[in-house]
Amino acid sequence: MTVPRLPLPLRDELFLLGHDDDNAQPYIDRQALALGLAGAVLIDLFMAGRIVLTSNDDSHPAGEQWLRLRSYQPVGDLIADSAIGYIRHGHANPPVREFLLGFADDLYERARAGLVAAGILRQTTRRRLGGLVHTDTYLLTDSRWSIVARTRLRYVAEGREQPDSHTGALAGLVAALGLTTYLHLDEDVDALAAYLAAIAREHHQSVQAITAAVDTAIGDLTTTTYR
């Protein structure tokens, strides 16, 4: 098995930050986390030069951003490459929000399976009620995988480092998903969320647009849930 390089893809780091290191339970609703993962995939593709966002088309509502492939060349990541195929063979130039909703459908499970295959998570099965009920749990094989991502955000929050593009995008997604309270930083949670969001606003406009689309999609999901 090849040991993954650090930093991990944005999607994988967000997945790990979205779970408790000790018991592997997600901090937020899985559907909401999956939307964040889909946004992370798009941001990684944008930073790899595979997609661009555009909004100057009369066939779309004013201000709506949609995706256009800049290159069909794979990036060497199974999920990211499947996203390229999804865009290429699906709806022509899909709106960002449409992509998020469609691609997120089974993304939580696929991202988890990828982390298991990479040796970052290990699957364990617990049996209850005399073996009649089986519960699968996916625990970290080494806490460094989540610690590295959390530490980068800590250093940025404390002003010890300037965020690179990867960390700036991670900060924006963490803020959009409401995961700041689970970073275990000695900071006011609301102030920290605002600060991470401010870091994200300094990012490239297209990354900001993807993060904003994730935030909107999660808000729509919450509204639908409580209707």
**Minimal CA–CA distance to 12: which of 119, 85, 99?**
119
* Residue bearing tokens 């992509």: 99
Is the N-terminal amide bond of 7 cis, ω within 30° of 0? Answer: yes
Q: What is the tens place of the pLDDT at every residue in 40-88?
A: 999 999 999 999 998 755 555 556 788 999 999 999 999 999 999 999 9
pLDDT cut 70: percent of the chain above it:
88
Q: What is the tens place of the pLDDT at every residue in 114-161?
A: 999 999 999 988 776 666 667 889 999 999 999 999 999 988 888 888
Distance CA 19, CA 12 (A): 11
Q: pTM (2 decimals)?
A: 0.90
Per-residue pLDDT, 185: 75
* Residue bearing tokens 């889909």: 38
Question: Which amino acid, 63?
Answer: G
Distance CA 138, CA 19 (A): 10
pLDDT cut 90: percent of the chain above it:
63
List, in order of start, the domains of the chain with CATH numbers. Answer: 10-225 (1.10.3630.10)
